Amino acid sequence: MIYLDNAATTCPSAVALARAETFLKENFYNPSARYRGGDAVARELRLARERIVSCVADPAAFEAVFTSCGTEADNHAVFSCAKRGNAVTSAGEHAAMHQSFVELKNRGVEPRFAPVTRSGTVNEEALLSLVDEKTSLVSVVHVNNETGAVNDIARLARLVKEKNPRAVFHSDGVQAFGKISVRLNDHVDFYSVSAHKIGGLKGTGALIKRKKTTLQPFVFGGGQEGGLRSGTENTFGIACFRFAAEEKIENLKQTCSRLAGFRELLWGRLDRSFYTRLSPEDGSPYILTVSAVGLRGEVLQRMLWDGGVVIGTGSACSSKKPHSRVLEACGWDGKTLDGVLRASFSSETTEEEILRAAELMNRAARELKETTG
């Protein structure tokens, strides 16, 4: 099978799994235990924490709180920081952020949603107009998971803090971490990341935070993660996360360059009489979203599966809905939304796979068009 749904999840890295195996078989101890085995695992956790943070920030200024996933990290930031006044985000956020903001209304905080552009980036002027002296939190996704559009979070965070220095700035970095060059500045307070998007395991994520910022506990119990997220740590998953992140960061520039070429190669081979491009040219090299306008994307998805290509129809977290909420917010019409297909790549994607996928995508669209008239 040709796997082109890496924005949904990635195949775990064989190298990361092999390096982390010791935490399943030998060093399986509870890191909270007081004997030497527990102490040794606790030291490895501290090292993993530092290494993961160093991928995007200075460990002297930032630290990581390990979570079960990016969704939990997003929720932790929102419900810890948005406790008064209003909170501002974009209409193009992942469901983990959007639904959290919707829930804020039930907790006495006013959610405000800034519009997005056709490509999926936030309208900066509109976003800033929603920030006032009562804003407690602003959250903007780094890479739009539906289109691959990239928001300049360093610039946005600075502009937000200039308008309201007390506002906390968070970004969902799940589709950016380990994929594009990221360096958090002093204006970004929180940044959510996930392991299974970069060759790690499902069930592991982290909320990276500036050390000077306040975070309230989200899960209570034994006081792990500095009292911010109780529960025995997933040491194997965290180790896999660290090793996968190191692997991706080491080859980041080369992979980005190669996949940007693959993205354009795929688009260049698609039949324009069927497909319209929704992803921006300056977006993430890992995502190409198109639409077979007037056709049904989920039907094409099944046809492609039968032909040996795994491809998405948008965010897996929104797959039960008829249309993508994010793409609707971008302003695309119903016929375009019906035909959405999202191809997303990994460092393991090959040129031969891209060429074959383009051939099969064109064939599927042609056959479906002939069938439906």
For 121-174, give the secondary structure using H, E and C: CECHHHHHHHCCCCEEEEECCCECCCCCCECCHHHHHHHHHHHCCCCEEEEECC
One-letter amino acid for residue 121 of the chain: T
- Distance separating alpha carbons of residues 115 and 43, to the nearest angstrom: 45
Nearest Cα to Cα of residue 263 among 52, 6, 1: 6
Nearest Cα to Cα of residue 10 among 141, 148, 175: 175
81 counts as catalytic: no
One-letter amino acid for residue 288 of the chain: L
> Do 2 and 266 form a contact (C-beta atoms < 8 A)?
no
Q: What is the DSSP letter of 217?
A: -
Q: Choosing from 69, 256, 317, 330, which is the catalytic residue?
A: 317
Nearest Cα to Cα of residue 67 among 289, 217, 262: 217
| Parallel/antiparallel/unpaired status of strands 309-311 and 2-4 | parallel
- Distance separating alpha carbons of residues 56 and 225, to the nearest angstrom: 20
What tokens appear for 237 in the block?
A: 């998953």
Catalytic residues: 317
